Homo-oligomer: A and B are copies of this chain.
Amino acid sequence: MQVTAEEGAQPAAKPRRRLTQAEAKARTRRQLLEAAARVFAEKGYAGASLEEIAESAGYSTGALYYNFAGKQELFLELLDVGWTRGIDRRARAVARIFDEAAATGTDPFDALSRLVARRSQRQSEQANAPLAAEFWLYAVRNPDAMGLVAAKLGEEVGLMKPMIAAAMERLGAAPGLDASEMTVVAVLLFDALVRQRRIDPQSVSDDLFARVLRRLFAARDQTGRGTEHTVADDEGLAT
């Protein structure tokens, strides 16, 4: 699933001619990256073996070394290219939801909530959450890669922010959070809910994300009152 792009760039009429050497090599590279995504997700960075990756793609380990400098380079390539592709796919899915909502005059929150449920269940998406966790761990352990991982959330926020901003304006969302912050929070919470549903589906009901988003996008009210609000006259802690 979800690796490299170049597929869509082919001359629309699927040509049955023999592939050129360069094309065949690119295809091998792509297949190896797809296999790497599967195996790294399943076993983790340290737990995955290059032989299993190569074999799962239908090649020998030598092919891996002909296409990548080594395990680390393979992983970083997956982090960079594969993750970007995942972000693009998700951004398109979300854009479709916002378009649909605008077209039918409903709000997009329920559909976004259903997206959480689907992401945590669909077989073809199963690898994304573990991979994201592996990438984060890799970044924490290898400061050199931190910038790269941070940039990925930056990319995602960049794609989502216009939609969030439009929705905030349309709904007259209360001040206190700007569009960037709202996007960061929404994306982080989306991922967190997907992760949580993976290990305990009951703890995240189907429409929880929708209800949280409705609260976050709520129109202005007395929210902005700040911290000097006095509540000293009640007990504060239940038992």
Contacts and interface: CB of A to CB of B under 8 A. Distances in A.
Q: How large is the interface on A (under 10, 10 to 19, 20 to 34, 35 or more residues)?
A: 35 or more
B199 A136 contact: yes
A195 B136 contact: yes
A200 B150 contact: yes
A204 B184 contact: yes
A174 B141 contact: no
A227 B203 CA distance: 23
A214 interface: yes
A21 interface: no
A203 B215 contact: no
A44 interface: yes
Given A189-B192, A192-B188, A222-B219, A227 B110 contact: yes
Oligomer: number of copies: 2
A113 to B, nearest CB: 11
Interface stretch (A59-67, A84-92, A159-167): A159-167
Given A43-B141, A162-B239, A165-B238, A211 B103 contact: no
Given A136-B195, A140-B130, A102 B146 contact: no
Given A176-B214, A216-B212, A219-B221, A107 B166 contact: no
> Among A43, A103, A107, which residue has the most Cβ atoms of chain B within 10 A?
A107
25 contacts: A43-B141, A45-B46, A101-B231, A101-B236, A103-B232, A103-B236, A105-B233, A107-B227, A129-B140, A133-B136, A136-B195, A146-B200, A150-B203, A153-B200, A153-B203, A170-B236, A176-B214, A181-B208, A188-B189, A188-B192, A212-B216, A215-B215, A218-B222, A219-B223, A221-B221
Interface of A: 42-47, 95, 98-99, 101-107, 109-110, 129-130, 133-134, 136-137, 139-141, 146, 149-150, 153-154, 157, 162-163, 165-166, 169-171, 174, 176-177, 181, 184-185, 188-189, 191-193, 195-196, 198-200, 203-205, 208, 211-212, 214-216, 218-219, 221-223, 227-239
